[in-house]
Every structure is written in structure tokens, then in C-alpha cells.
Amino acid sequence: MDLKRFGEWLKSLKNEGVEHLPIEERRSFLKIGLKVTGVFAGGTILSVVSRAQEVFGAAPDYVDKYPYKPHYSMVIITDRCVDCQLCMDACVKTNHVPPYGWRTKIFERRLKVGPNEYARQFMPVLCNHCNIPPCVRVCPTKATFKDKKTGIVRMNPKKCIGCKTCMVACPYDMRYFNEERRAVDKCDFCWESRLSKGEKLTACAAACPAGVRNFGDLSDPNSKVYKLVHDPDRVVWVLRPETGARPNVFYTIDGLG
């Protein structure tokens, strides 16, 4: 059969419905991130789509446009996270975060992997150092700003009047009011505590025992973050892409099941 006739034959087939496909088989597809949408020719042909979009939202289209140098970024391999919170401990210690505040958090969610089967997944969240940061847009005193060189969204606590508008504007809830400093505080990719002093990694990335938090320069093709984001075999996504904030924190999985 030549390709054209094969295509016609394919089109002529009727979708027999996924209900008849054994649950086990459907589940094994789901586990590798594919959803079976059709069953043809008595089960010998399956049509599948990636579940990535449905589960995680679309991969960002602004990848490959890196205006900063270094363009600091974090790629989180979220299925490696075990919620040990060593990253949070290191952050609190390094950046003097009070017990009521946070610069990063770990969220937990239940992913449905089968009809009655769920998998636990942990998801670290920190400031996304958005390319179009809603917090910077709303700040009346320019106390929060996007660093022109590195793209890091930083705070100038002296200018902060504590109006908390930025806290409301952040789609990721990654700002808190620091009572002691009388100013809003947030993750600065450890710029003040580490990077500006010559360190290469944030405290959380250095503390993670599981290789979850990959930090580096997204404009450098030799960096781990560049390789992860540009790996064609990887599903890469960002949180809440619909807000248009264009995060520089990316998410992916190693498919550890």
C-alpha cells in the first residue's frame, strides 16, 4: 500500500472508542504523558495526544528571546522533588526570612494516573522573575524593579511605603510584608546574599539533594538551564501562562512515574 492509499484507509477507519481499551493499557500511556483519544482497526492502531497541555498549560512561546546577560533562570524538575524542604531551610537562613514569611514554598498536588489511582507530586514555587512583572508595573514608588542587567526582580526596601499593591498584583503569591524591615520582601535569586558576592547558585539550588532546582544563565547554550529548556524530548511549562507575566522559572519532569 502506498502512503496515499494508506492515509485514505486510515481516514476511513471508525473510531471504536477508548472504552474498550483495557484500563491497564490506557494507564500505561497516561504514565508516559500520553492520552489515548482513539482506537482503530480492532485496537491495532491508537491515536494519542500529549497530556502536557491539558495538565500543565502551554509551553511558553517566548523561549529563545533572552534580553539579559546573564539571563538568570531556574528550571524545576518537579517530579524529583520530595518536599524535604531543605531548600526552604537554606533560604530562610541565608536571607533571614521570618517565620511568618516566605521566599519560596512547596505545594503538593494529587495527579490522577488511573481510574482510582493517584500520584503525589510536589511543586516548588518561588518568584518567577517575570519578564513582564505585574508587581513592578503597579509599584507607585519603583521600590520593586527589574534589574536591567540580570533580569532579577529586586526590592529597594528604603523606597517601599508598604502599600502592598505588589502583593495583590503578583499572580504567584510570592511576596510578603516583612514587619521588621517595614517593607515587602521576596526572592531575589539570592542576588544580595550570594550572587553579588560571586556565588554561582542560589541557596535553594545548592541545598537541594534531589537535583530539582537547576539555576543558571538561560542565554548561555552550555548551561544546564538552557539545555533543559531546549531539550526537544522534554515537556516544559510555566505556571499561569494566561497572566502574560512571562516567567523565567520553568517546570519539567524526568518522567519518574
Partner 1 sequence: MKRWLLLLLVFVFSLAFYQPLFGQDEEEYPEEPIIFTKPVKAVIFDHKKHVEDAGLSCDDCHDELFEMAAGTAEENEDFNMESLYQGKYCGACHNGEMAFPANRKCTTCHIGVLGWQRLQQKSGEGESSSEGHH
Nearer to ligand SF4, 69 or 240 (CB): 240
Determine if 123 is a binding residue for partner 1 (CB under 8 A): no
64 binds partner 1 (CB under 8 A): no
* Shortest distance, position 222 Cβ to ligand SF4, whole Å: 24
SS3 of 137-164: the string is: HHCCCCCEEECCCCCCEEECCCCCCCCC
Pseudo-torsion of CA 253, 193, 181, 106, nearest 10°? Answer: 20
CA distance to 4, 55, 66, per residue, from 250 (Å): 41, 15, 14
Residue 33 touching partner 1 (CB under 8 A): no
* Contacted by 87, from partner 1, ligand SF4, none: CB < 5 to 8 Å by type: ligand SF4
Q: Which does 257 bind (CB under 5 to 8 A by kind): ligand SF4, partner 1, none?
A: partner 1
CB of 202 to partner 1, least distance (A): 19
Q: Which one of the spans 6-14, 116-124, 185-193, 235-243 is the region binding partner 1 (CB under 8 A)?
A: 116-124
Whole-number minimum distance, CB 22 to ligand SF4, in Å? 35
CB 36 within 8 A of CB 16: no
Site for partner 1 in 133-172 (CB under 8 A): none
207 binds, among ligand SF4, partner 1, none (CB under 5 to 8 A by kind): ligand SF4
Give the list of residues 6+ apart from residue 149 with CB closer than 8 angstroms, or none.
68, 69
> Residue 175 binds what, of partner 1, ligand SF4, none (CB under 5 to 8 Å, by partner type)?
ligand SF4
What whole-number distance in Å separates Cα of residue 252 and Cα of residue 55?
Answer: 12
Contacted by 119, from ligand SF4, partner 1, none: CB < 5 to 8 Å by type? partner 1
As a whole number of angstroms, the distance between CA 238 and CA 245 comes to 10
Residue 70: is the preceding peptide bond cis (ω within 30°)? yes
Q: Which residues contribute to the site for ligand SF4 (CB under 6 A)?
A: 81-87, 106, 122, 124, 127-130, 133-135, 153, 170, 172, 174-175, 186, 207-208, 210, 212-213, 245
> Where in 66-95 is the site for partner 1 (CB under 8 A)?
79-86
DSSP per-residue letters across 203-243: HHHHH-TTS-EEEEETT-TTSHHHHHHH-TTS-EE-S-GGG
Name the phi and psi angles at 206, rounded to 5.
-70, -30
Q: Could you tell me the smallest distance in angstroms from the CB atom of residue 114 to partner 1?
A: 13
Report, in Å, the least distance between residue 108 CB and partner 1. 5
Shortest Å, Cβ 41 to ligand SF4: 45
User: What is the C-alpha R_g of the chain?
Assistant: 22
C-alpha separations of 162 from 141, 152, 153, 157, 180 in Å:
10, 21, 17, 9, 12
Residue ranges in contact with partner 1 by CB under 8 A: 79-86, 106, 108, 119-122, 209-210, 256-257
